[in-house]
């Protein structure tokens, strides 16, 4: 049960409990559920402001589980996300590589931004997403790394495969091959140098819930007045 201490609200609460105690749990239930939906709206706003969204999935992943019981001591409305990555966004985390090479970090070029854009502020373009990238089978066993890279670039420029994995000693990644066969140019699409990537905290729940908590006295007041009016007990 939440505690809100103001004289006006205390009087309204006392009146409802005194004259129609059965209506009181409806007021608390209404308060919790409305507050949860207000928090959901605020969280979605935080997501739009702080996160890069390709579509509405992340915002829609924010769901409310309403309280339905009239047992005041057991009432609880829950706001959460069905997207597992939101925990890392809220609290920070570490993403580890899932294969032989390092953890894929999309570059500014992958998002259609200038290669000097740091940090990247957009998601990779659809054609540059990992699921849409096809790589040729690596060839050149028994030759040096430099020779393998040259072979891979030449094959990519001459074929329909425009992406290639290159190991440049200090840098590894997936590159897009652009230009003609004679003078192909390379643009890094994913950096695979690091074995893990630290995900910084990007809180969306905490600030939204804090704002909602400050609005709860007004929400509770409205719920009490609604029940008092409904039962013809409000004198204001």
What angle do the packed helices 24-50 and 205-230 form, to 10 degrees? 150
CA distance 24 to 27: 5
Is-above-0.85 flag for pTM? no
User: Does residue 1 have a pLDDT over 60?
Assistant: no
Give the chain's mean pLDDT: 89
Summarize pLDDT for 132-155 with one digit per residue, the tens.
888 877 666 667 888 888 888 888
Are residues 30 and 199 in contact, defined by beta-carbon separation less than 8 angstroms? no
Q: Find out whether 109 and 189 touch, Cβ atoms under 8 Å.
A: yes
Candidate from 22-36, 172-186, 215-229 with smallest mean pLDDT: 172-186
217: CB partners within 8 A, 6+ apart: 4, 6, 9
20-24, 101-105, 161-165: least confidently modelled range: 161-165
Which of 35-44, 77-86, 167-176, 201-210 has the least mean pLDDT?
A: 167-176
**Closest by CA position to 69, among listed 102, 100, 25, 111:** 25
């Amino acid at each position: 049960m939440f505690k809100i201490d103001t004289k006006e609200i205390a009087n309204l609460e006392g009146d409802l409990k005194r004259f129609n105690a059965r209506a009181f749990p409806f007021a608390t239930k209404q308060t919790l559920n409305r507050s949860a939906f207000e928090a959901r709206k605020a969280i979605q706003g935080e997501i739009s402001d702080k996160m890069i969204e390709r579509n509405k999935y992340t915002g829609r992943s924010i769901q409310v589980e309403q309280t339905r019981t009239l047992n005041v001591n057991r009432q609880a409305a829950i706001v959460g996300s069905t997207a597992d990555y939101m925990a890392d966004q809220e609290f920070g985390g570490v993403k580890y590589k899932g294969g032989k090479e390092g953890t894929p970090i999309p570059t500014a070029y992958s998002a259609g931004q200038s290669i000097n854009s740091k940090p990247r502020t957009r998601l990779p373009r659809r054609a540059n997403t990992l699921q849409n990238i096809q790589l040729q089978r690596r060839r050149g066993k028994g030759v040096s790394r430099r020779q393998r890279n040259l072979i891979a670039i030449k094959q990519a420029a001459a074929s329909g495969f425009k992406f290639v994995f290159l190991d440049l000693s200090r840098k590894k990644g997936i590159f897009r091959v652009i230009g003609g066969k004679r003078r192909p140019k390379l643009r890094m699409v994913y950096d695979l140098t690091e074995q893990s990537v630290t995900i910084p905290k990007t809180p969306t729940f905490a600030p939204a819930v804090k704002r909602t908590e400050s609005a709860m006295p007004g929400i509770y007041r409205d719920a009490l007045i609604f029940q008092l009016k409904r039962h013809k007990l409000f004198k204001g």
